[in-house]
Structures are given as structure tokens and as C-alpha cells.
Amino acid sequence: ETGVTQSPTHLIKTRGQQVTLRCSSQSGHNTVSWYQQALGQGPQFIFQYYREEENGRGNFPPRFSGLQFPNYSSELNVNALELDDSALYLCASSPRMSGANVLTFGAGSRLTVL
Amino acid sequence: AQKITQTQPGMFVQEKEAVTLDCTYDTSDPSYGLFWYKQPSSGEMIFLIYQGSYDQQNATEGRYSLNFQKARKSANLVISASQLGDSAMYFCAMSQGAGRRALTFGSGTRLQVQP
């Protein structure tokens, strides 16, 4: 079975621009979560999607938004980029919404904001 | 609010020896789960082991075991017979509450295995 794939792997944007990151979940997984990992820190939860709806959100402003599609793939959109948005963005999928909820992560998209 | 603390920024271990990575947590919810993930330089987070708060026995997965001490709120990872490929960042994480939607991660421990 294929794992979680993310694109692009690296990208550079300037402050004020918008970015879209993409994620294909692992086969059989219907829940997708996004995490932001700043350099030298642990990942921080952005939000989770289940059945194409946002189902939990961390402490991130509304300019961070997402989508989940019928095939369970997902997008993370960030508007009005700030320098502090520079980070590794990790997508993770899981087979169910609750319980042990073991997440399978992708390799991430590294965003640099200049 | 939930919190995960990893007090060891870096650890060294000789190949074939065992190593313990520390993790303490703070939560008021009686139902929670504890996870350990490994992150090599490639960036991908790799699931290692899971312990539920109501599990009576410590979790084990191959060379990984979780030393769960509920009263002390600690969930230390023990890696036996370290290998060079174990060199990576290790993160302790917790999920809690109904649905357990989000993981809260610690700041991580960088493990270096020396030949």
C-alpha cells in the first residue's frame, strides 16, 4: 500500500503571498491532519479533516485553511504569508477519527518565506 | 491544557547498547494515548509505539518498549540493542479527550548512535 505523499517538497515564497500544499492520504485512511514544524521544535497541530469537513483546529489564525476531497486527499492553504510561517508542513492520515488514532505521516513540504 | 516535556535535547549511545529517552506528560483527562515517533533527517515522522492510559501492561514493539509510569506521568522510550540507523530525532506525543483528534508533541530528543 502507498503511504502519505506530499507536494511540493520544497518551495520559497515572499511575505504576503499565498501558498497551497497538497497531500494524498494512505489507502484506506479517511482522516487527514496537518501539522506545522518550525526548525528545532516539535510539530504543532493545525487542523484535521474528516468527511470533507474540518473536525478540530489548533491555535492557528483563519488565514490557515484547508480542504479535503472525496478521495480523502487534502490541501493546506496559507494566505498573507509571514516570515514565521517558514516551517516544515506535515500531513498525516489515519484510518479512523478516534481511538488510538495512529497517524501515518508524509515527508513534509518545507516552506521558506522571504 | 495538555503538555509533553522531553528534557534531553541530545543523547549519545554506543552501538548495541540500550538507551532510555525520557518523556513526562501533564493532563487532567483520564483517557489519553501516548506515542513515540522517530524523525530521520528525511523529515518523515515514523510511528514507533503506542500506550493507552488504561493499558495495564507496558507496550512493546520489537526493540522498542515504553516504560509507562502512570502515577509519575512518565512514558519513557527504551531502545534495546541500538543500531546506527536509530540515529534520528525522537518525539513523544499525547492525544486526549473525546475523539482524540490532535497530537501534542514534545520538543524532541536527538539520538546519536556511535559505532
CA-CA distance, A77 to A100, in Å (whole number)? Answer: 28
- Look at residues A54, A7, A4 and name the one whose alpha carbon lies nearest to residue B45: A4
Given this model, what pLDDT does residue A95 score? Answer: 83
**pLDDT band for position A99 (50/70/90)?**
low
Given this model, what pLDDT does residue A97 score? Answer: 58
What residues of chain B have any CB closer than 8 angstroms to a CB in chain A? 4, 33, 35, 37, 42-47, 50, 52, 91, 93, 95, 98-108
Query: For chain A, what is the mean pLDDT?
Result: 93
**Quick check: A98 pLDDT over 70?**
no
**Quick check: B42 pLDDT over 80?**
yes
Q: What is the DSSP string of A90-113?
A: EEEEESSSSTT---EE---EEEEE
Segment B52-68 shows an average pLDDT of: 95
Segment B53-78 shows an average pLDDT of: 95
**pLDDT band for position A34 (50/70/90)?**
very high
Kindly list the residues from chain A whose CB atom is less than 8 angstroms away from the CB atom of residue B94. Answer: none
Give alpha helix (H) positions in chain B. none
Given this model, what pLDDT does residue B83 score? Answer: 97
Instruction: Identify which of A58, A102, A108 has the shortest CB distance to residue B43.
Output: A108
Segment A40-57 shows an average pLDDT of: 93
Interchain contact, B99 vs A107, CB within 8 Å: no
What 3-state class would DSSP assign to B85? Answer: helix
C-alpha cell at B79: 531502545
Interchain contact, B103 vs A105, CB within 8 Å: no
Segment B82-102 shows an average pLDDT of: 88
What 3-state class would DSSP assign to B84? Answer: helix
| Residue A37 phi, psi dihedral angles, 5° rounding | -120, 105
Interchain contact, A56 vs B102, CB within 8 Å: yes
**Quick check: A109 pLDDT over 90?**
yes
Given this model, what pLDDT does residue B18 score? Answer: 98
Instruction: Identify which of A42, A98, A102 has the shortest CB distance to residue B108.
Output: A42
CA-CA distance, B35 to B31, in Å (whole number)? Answer: 14
CA-CA distance, B29 to B20, in Å (whole number)? Answer: 26
- Look at residues B30, B99, B106, B72 and name the one whose alpha carbon lies nearest to residue A101: B99
What 3-state class would DSSP assign to A41? Answer: coil
Given this model, what pLDDT does residue B17 score? Answer: 97
| CA atoms within 13 Å, Cβ hemisphere of A110 | 8
Given this model, what pLDDT does residue B101 score? Answer: 73
Other Cβ atoms less than 10 A from the Cβ of B40: the count is 14
**Quick check: B1 pLDDT over 80?**
no
The residue with cell 484510518 is: A95
Given this model, what pLDDT does residue B65 score? Answer: 97
CA-CA distance, A1 to A73, in Å (whole number)? Answer: 15
**Quick check: A57 pLDDT over 60?**
yes
Given this model, what pLDDT does residue B91 score? Answer: 98
